[in-house]
Structure 1
């Protein structure tokens, strides 16, 4: 048994032809930095729950991912962020949706878990709770960046709702133009960890879908869909939220381990390959015994992992 950590920055149509090299390099460097932060905390005997919050908070601060500062806009040009966190040892969990001023959705989700009798707070109630708890808030205009406005414009022009790394390309857009627009692609972030005591935790955070309807809630804050942890494993999913919710992706990985005796890898691969439409989802997961797996049915997933025995991996494309 030993510690292990895995994180992701979204899954989807990730390819060199659709994303400029400097954007790929910047996202890879962010993954590397966040992995280092998580590994250092685990080596210092931090709990899995603390590590997950720490890493996801760092990714929320990075504008090249779809969470926190990088959160995309609704069809009305507003931000509605969501997140969830879960402690596998106790099955305590917290979730939030509809945030427009909270700097770190994952930290507010943890406050919901630890400071209220509830699991899920949303919209005005969640915002009011954040202020009561002294959680950092910013003006809503902080998230409405020129880049986010341009992402929304492209999605509306294509009359599409954009999921992670699926560029909304108009049917008449030349290939070379589509490739140059690759930097508009963003992905949900998530982290899972098991600490030196075998405790598991999972956390996921997102801005949702570009051009989504106001009030739409995806898989990220839905316990058992986009995020789940118990005594067997911790799972964070990413991709098309509606498909992930229908398949209860994160919970099914844990259920296959618990009730069918599958290994972490076999359980994750089964759910991604058999239960979710191809091109719709990916996940990262760790087990109580220090196993780690990163499975996806898209062309790529920004991902990184490390284990106590010295194994580490950072990847973007399907191998």
Structure 2
């Protein structure tokens, strides 16, 4: 028998001026999700059940960018993505272009368990959802929040896709005077504009079984049809017999670096421990992209890494360690 461990995230890329009340709301949500996961693990639920349970909780709260509260496309619609992976046998399921399914992570699991495929998207995924009888909503409006409508308007005015985790620092440490220092922006938008990011959960249970799950609405003002890293196995999500990993951040950079799989490969083939593997991929595999990730090992370890200003994250282990944080 091993020791269980769990980690959750609510995205990498945090406005350093994020109001304190929003910070506290995020910490409370992450703590609530950890508590649910801990209770499930103490009840001997398998890792794959726990990651689905926790991500469903995150999808149901509009605070982060998944399920209800998802980022909006350039057309003002929601196209959600999710994936789940069971380290036992490396079984996986993923979905993209979801518009009416209340909890995309549960549909991803059904793809894994009830279909002959690993990945379904857009109308095919929606039709499969109807066949499986999952909970659906009448239209896209359930997922759209007033805050995100306003953020999309700002993004369109600036003609930008909102990469909220890109915070340029050029000039801040130079010899220019305070008056000459340009104001901080996020890809052209004022720093006061804030949009949360992807959610995820990784778990190892007392049997040493690892699992990972990731869910997102994608990028604000993204092109319709854009697919990020979150549903791509090996990029945004991965689990095997040594670890489970969930990523967040600039999807295009995470895809290029196959970030989640790289963590596992370094452990499997180079013998690195969990935290060293995480540190290596964040430093060497992002090609100037901005991202973060959480991970657990089959030995009951937890780890995280990010090269952004902050990442919403929480951890708990069977030996009593528990931490929820945002900043470095």
- Distance, in Å, in 2 between the alignment partners of 1:71 and 1:167 is 21
Asked whether the equivalents of residues 165 and 186 of structure 1 are also in contact (C-alpha less than 8 Å), the reply is no
Asked whether the equivalents of residues 228 and 234 of structure 1 are also in contact (C-alpha less than 8 Å), the reply is yes
**1:298 pairs with one of 279, 285, 308:** 308
The residue number in structure 2 matching 1:29 is 28
Asked whether the equivalents of residues 278 and 298 of structure 1 are also in contact (C-alpha less than 8 Å), the reply is no
Question: 1:194-205 to 2 correspondence within 5 Å?
Answer: 194-205=204-215
Deviation at residue 166 of structure 1 after TM alignment: 5.1
The residue number in structure 2 matching 1:11 is 12
Deviation at residue 315 of structure 1 after TM alignment: 0.7
**2:280 pairs with one of 245, 259, 270:** 270
Matched, 1:252 2:251: no
Q: Which portions of structure 1, spanning 4 or more consecutive aligned residues, are displaced by more than 4 angstroms?
A: 164-168, 173-179
Q: TM-score, normalised by structure 1?
A: 0.93
Matched, 1:221 2:237: no
Larger Rg: 2
Seen in structure 2, the aligned counterparts of structure 1 residues 75 and 288 have a Cα distance that, compared at 3 Å, is: same
Question: What is the number of residues matched between the two proteins?
Answer: 310
Question: 1:35-46 to 2 correspondence within 5 Å?
Answer: 35-46=34-45
The residue number in structure 2 matching 1:152 is 152
C-alpha RMSD of the superposition: 1.8
Q: TM-score, normalised by structure 2?
A: 0.91
**1:285 pairs with one of 286, 289, 295:** 295
The residue number in structure 1 matching 2:118 is 119
Seen in structure 2, the aligned counterparts of structure 1 residues 308 and 164 have a Cα distance that, compared at 3 Å, is: farther
- Distance, in Å, in 2 between the alignment partners of 1:61 and 1:44 is 23
Deviation at residue 277 of structure 1 after TM alignment: 3.9
- Distance, in Å, in 1 between the alignment partners of 2:231 and 2:272 is 26
What are the ranges of 5 or more consecutive residues in structure 1 without an aligned counterpart?
A: none
Asked whether the equivalents of residues 219 and 225 of structure 1 are also in contact (C-alpha less than 8 Å), the reply is yes
Seen in structure 2, the aligned counterparts of structure 1 residues 275 and 77 have a Cα distance that, compared at 3 Å, is: same
> What SS does structure 1 have at the residue aligned with 2:248?
strand
